[in-house]
Chain A
Amino acid sequence: MTATLERLPLLVRDWITGFFPEPVRWLVSGLLAIVAILAVFGLYFAYLTLAERKFLGRFQNRPGPNRTGPFGLLQPFADAVKALTKEDIVPQAADKLLHFLAPCLVVAFGLISFAVIPFGRYLIPVDLDAAVLYFFAAGVSSELALFMAGWASHNKYSMISAMRALAQLISYELPLLLAVVPVIMLSGTLSTSKIVVAQGGWTFGIIPHWNVLTPWGFAGFFIFMIAAVAETNRSPFDLPEAESELIAGHLTEYSGFKYALFFMAEYFGMSALCGLGVTLFLGGWQAPIDILQVVPSYVWFMVKLSCVIFCLMWVRATLLRLRIDQLTRLAWKFLVPLGLINLGNAAFWHLSADWSGPLQIVRWAISAAVIVIPFVLIGRTLSSGLAPRTYRYAT
């Protein structure tokens, strides 16, 4: 039963490809993977927007959208109809070609990142050997599309936003990669599916061997998630589209469906990056407890992905936006040094792999100290001089 459920997507694929002659089956199989990603993540995106609005509403002491269908469940479709029927305005001064190309590219680059994420034990669209490298190459390209949008709009706000986007993305690409390198060091592979397999197994059947449950892995996950929030332009790092300063940033001159495409790309990018985070640090499709393996692996992946995305929504509802100089300073002076230290930490963890018995505790203590002490020290120096004040009263 479990095995059947686990293999269900493959069975469906084999059933459909069975209708086609042998020479084109590889092509049909590839196209089916694309269709599945588009359908599943298209729907996931639609309900993610609804979930975000609902959660934000609850965080903000209001119900959120609840007029369209039961509990507002049809809201995404109403939004889609609205976006499709709105007039598409292209500014006269805009670079028409780039203005059109930017939303297409940003969605395309957001989507191709999904190709290397293992969604389940047997579900990985393309099992590349250099999957992590591929993922980051695709991720960086989408920043290009954002700059294209800002430049092509020929609007000052869009221009400032595009400059901000580049500064931010270049700054945070580095900590993002530095957070990932220890995982590659420890599992010895760039292939995402092998990284997930390396995280399999449980101690006593309840404690999974996920990377996040080691000191270097926790620090890596921490750095990765901060950088991921910045990479996907979400609050508190949503400077490129800071609505209180730059109206809508690079989206200012976009309307109708093109705007919706940017919106979609943001959520695709967020899902893909969080998916990578789940893959690298949270054990991918591995079940958290041994006996829970009866639940198919792809369900576990989506559950973990949704939990991580929920945390991002929580952060968005809670935190204030940083200023651009503070943002880059946080990357270069805090996350990059921490990432480098974490690299050494991972190397230590690798070398001490054969320590056993009481030495295990020493290994944990050293590894935790190596990352916590710099965290506290660098954090203190960065925030020195800032404190709540006490006030006098006039007589």
Chain B
Amino acid sequence: MQNEPTSSAPGLAGTPANSSFDILHSPLGSPQQGASVREVNDPFHGDLLEVSMGPHHPSTHGVFRMVATLDGEIIVKLKPVFGYLHRNHEKLGENTTYLASMPYTDRLDYLAGMTNNWAYALAVEKLSGQVATERAEYVRVIVGEMMRIVNHCCLVGFLFNDLGTSFTPLLYAFREREKFLDLFEELTGTRMMYNYQRFGGCRVDPTPEWLAKAKALIDGFPRFLDEYEQFLTGNEIMLARTQGVGRLSPELAINAGITGPVLRATGVGYDIRKVDGYGVYPRFDFRVPIGDHGDTYDRYMMRILEMRESVKILQQAFRDLPAGPIIDPKAKNRGLRPKAGEAYGRIEGPKGEIGFYLISDGSTNPYRYRVRPPSFINLTVLEDMCLGHSVADAVVILGSIDIVLGEVDR
């Protein structure tokens, strides 16, 4: 009640202010533009309702909290609150050796541990001047792209849950995810906390049987996607609930540092796999899908299309995987003391740019250890996307950003 909205435009460039909220004349779909925030001197001004969604709410994807100010059911103000899962990740990184930090990185984005491992390994390799072997680079691409598929499976499933299906699409997506996790378990020994990457290579070499199984799984995956899309992508309620909901303008996305599928949905073709060309990515033939509207539907489709591209990359990687050592025999992992200096390693994680910034003072521990978490930074535009939409849409918009609280709070 004390949070009276001001009469000025609410947010940054992304939200058109004072565009009329024509709820009667828009089609079954959503209002095509974000609604205007009601003027304070509106003669019919009623009470605003402040609702604290979270930290224990079924669809805030963990212990995230949104303090939403509602006008009826329309959101006029939304304050994201986080930190409930803070566990001193960055300070821990400064007090442990370089190698000992590797298992901690799994706990950042616990739905996509492999890519966290990879980004951290890349940062340390840059810092200490080591190079991964060629086979290891290919294996990294294989596990990294499989991780992307696992992550997007989760996201798409949970998004439909937020849209109000009774778990059905989620469980079908999880069935596929389960097959990937079984493979990861066979390779690394754990299902989610892999601790798989090392500086200069990977921890264990995948056996030919494992590769054959993985290849068979990947070859069958597009069939699952086709089935999934056939039932869900064209569903009229799905279109009505997501098209035009939670628009993000490319300008705002770039200014706010958004990366990953959320950025590409706005029409910006920025993918670090193409921009940096790290590892052996330049050798693969794949495309980067981009959206035109930047709404929830585009963000959903980005994930689906990226999974299809990942399948293409994986098939090429299985074909071209060279023989050789999985880790450089001269690689230094234990007792690593890089020369004083700094390095930033980043990769295109499933959620966006996941980067690690390290400063070495020549000792066994980094002097400064900093994570650039994609979901935390993508979360900053939540309010701009939600203003003028209803509570139901806010939940869906949050779901489409794809956050993992382990990474947001660190």
A binds B: yes
- Nearest-Cβ distance from residue B276 to partner chain A, whole angstroms: 15
One of B122-130, B236-244, B364-372 at the interface: B236-244
* The residue from A60, A383, A395 contacting B28, defined by CB atoms under 8 A apart: A383
With contacts A61-B175, A160-B73 taken as known, whether A326 is within 8 angstroms of B395 at the C-beta atoms is no
Given contacts A157-B51, A382-B28, contact A321 B164 (CB under 8 A): yes
Given contacts A56-B166, A386-B243, A393-B290, contact A247 B57 (CB under 8 A): yes
Give the distance in Å from the alpha carbon of A239 to the alpha carbon of B392 in the complex: 9
Determine if A235 and B305 form an interchain contact, defined as CB atoms under 8 angstroms apart: no
User: What chain B residues lie within 8 Å of A244 (beta carbons)?
Assistant: 58-59, 161-164, 395
What number of A residues sit within 8 Å (CB to CB) of B? Answer: 47
**How far does the Cβ of B310 sit from chain A's closest Cβ, in whole Å?**
14
Alpha-carbon distance between A385 and B30 when the two chains are bound, in angstroms: 10
Q: Which of A81-89, A170-178, A295-303, A312-320 contacts B (4 or more CB under 8 A)?
A: A312-320
Contacting residues, chain A, for B43 (C-beta < 8 A): none
In the assembled complex, B98 has its CB within 8 A of some CB on chain A: no
> Which residues of the other chain, A, contact B240 by a CB distance below 8 angstroms?
322-323, 326, 383, 386
Tell me which residues across on chain B come within 8 A of A164, comparing CB atoms: 73
The tally of CB-CB contacts under 8 A between chains A and B is 145
Identify the closest chain B residue to A243 (Cβ).
B58
For residue A384, CB closer than 8 A to chain B, the reply is yes
A67 within 8 A of B: no
Q: Which chain A residue has the least Cβ–Cβ distance from B390? A: A323
With a cutoff of 8 Å between Cβ atoms, the chain B residues found around residue A388 in the complex are: 233-234, 239
Write the chain B residue with the least CB distance to A392.
Answer: B290
Q: Is the CB of B288 within 8 A of A386?
A: no
Q: Which residues of B contact A326 (CB under 8 A)?
A: 28-30, 240-241
Contact-size category for B: 35 or more
B289 near A391: Cβ-Cβ < 8 Å: yes
Q: Are A318 and B305 in contact (CB under 8 A)?
A: no
Question: By the criterion CB–CB under 8 Å, are A245 and B392 in contact?
Answer: yes
A329 — which chain B residues lie within 8 A by C-beta? 28
CB proximity to A under 8 Å, residues B156-208: 160-168, 171-172, 175
Q: Contact at A386–B289, with CB atoms within 8 Å?
A: no
**CA distance in complex: A393, B274 (Å):** 12
Known: A244-B58, A244-B161, A323-B392. A59 touches B288 (CB 8 A): no
Question: Given the known A-B contacts A245-B59, A386-B29, are A391 and B167 also in contact in the complex, defined by CB atoms under 8 Å?
Answer: no
Contact status A389-B172, CB under 8 Å: no
The answer, among A238, A319, A387, A391, for a CB contact under 8 Å with B291, is: A391
Q: Does B49 reach chain A (CB closer than 8 Å)?
A: yes
Residues of A within 8 A of B239 (CB): 383, 386-388
> Which B residues touch A33, using CB under 8 A?
none
Q: How far is the CA of A156 from the CA of B1 in the complex (A)?
A: 13
Shortest Cβ distance from residue A108 to the other chain B in the assembled complex, whole angstroms: 28
Residues of B within 8 A of A79 (CB): none
User: Is B235 interfacial (CB-CB < 8 Å)?
Assistant: yes
New A-B pairs, 5, CB < 8 Å, besides A60-B167, A318-B165, A323-B390:
A62-B171, A317-B168, A320-B235, A324-B73, A393-B287
Chain A positions within 8 Å of B, measured between CB atoms, are: 56, 59-62, 156-157, 159-160, 164, 235-236, 238-239, 242-247, 316-326, 329-330, 381-389, 391-395
